[in-house]
Amino acid sequence: MNEIQDRDASFEERLLAELRAVVEERAAMPEAADVERSSVYDRVSLHTPPAGGRRLAPRLALGGAAVAAVAAGVLAVSSGTGDTSSAFAVEPQGDGTVRVEISSLSDAAGLEKALAEAGVKADVSYTAAGMACREPRWHATAAVPGEGQPAQPAPDDQAARKGKTTGSIRQTDSGVVFSITPNGIGPDDTLVVTASPGPEGAGDVVGVQIAEGAVSPCDPVPAGDLPPGAVTQQSGGPGAPHTAGPQQGFSQSGVPGVSGVPATGAGQSSN
């Protein structure tokens, strides 16, 4: 930290000098800035633990332009302390699969790197609450880009057909877990992981997809008719109806490629 204590300057000017130093540092080290961006961003957004310790039922599936929508799960943020060193775990298994666990939405770049080291080309994007990546991010052959039918949650079937993933996203006490088979992912394919914190820290939405071909960077846009808060309030506990209430229609005209249906592939069932 710079020690700027100009006696004549006001607090505002001194703060500006400090912050300018941060910006200059970032300008000089774009890569470091990226890492920092995700971790700081996480600090801001993730430290919003559940107001009442609510557990959140799985609530949406990402699909649409996805070639293979594996599943979507909900990452319950149980703690406000974001230790980036344990934000994720990438563990190659004996059977050739790679087990991925995401325990907090921080260090997207680190997860990307860890996946690359495990032989999986990945694109990991964490967006702010209420935001989603603009779709489509890649040209899918099996889906209509943009408009059209959201993929219905038959993620396990799709995944099995593609042979690229094993199982589905499961929710554990510490986060979400899924497995992938690097050999099943083609040289031009990219594992696309997107996640955004739920509002009020009630739970985070994690989507895992496999894209064929180039993937454009995540361009965060408002999740539009997919207000996570609206759904959150519907799922106050086991047995809470997903389809009742004022937000019933929210999924009908939402973000292209994102459907608001509960993810059947996720581990926690609420009905």
Shortest Å distance, C-beta 208 to another protein:
21
| Residue ranges binding another protein (CB under 8 A) | 1, 4-5, 7, 10-12, 14-16, 18-20, 22-24, 26-27, 30, 33, 36-37, 39-41, 43-45, 47-49, 51, 80-83, 127-131, 199-200, 218, 220-225, 227-230, 233, 245-247
Evaluate whether 65 touches 137 at the Cβ level (below 8 Å): yes
Helix (H/G/I), strand (E/B), else coil: 116: helix
Q: CA torsion sign, 254 to 260 to 266 to 270? A: positive
Shortest Å distance, C-beta 225 to another protein:
7
Shortest Å distance, C-beta 179 to another protein:
29
Shortest Å distance, C-beta 32 to another protein:
11
* Residue owning tokens 């209420």: 130
Q: Measured between alpha carbons, how far is 267 from 112 in angstroms, rounded to an integer? A: 24
Q: Measured between alpha carbons, how far is 125 from 228 in angstroms, rounded to an integer? A: 17
Shortest Å distance, C-beta 23 to another protein:
5
87 burial class (0-12, 13-18, 19+ CB within 10 angstroms)?
A: buried
Of residues 34 and 156, the one with the C-beta less far from another protein: 34
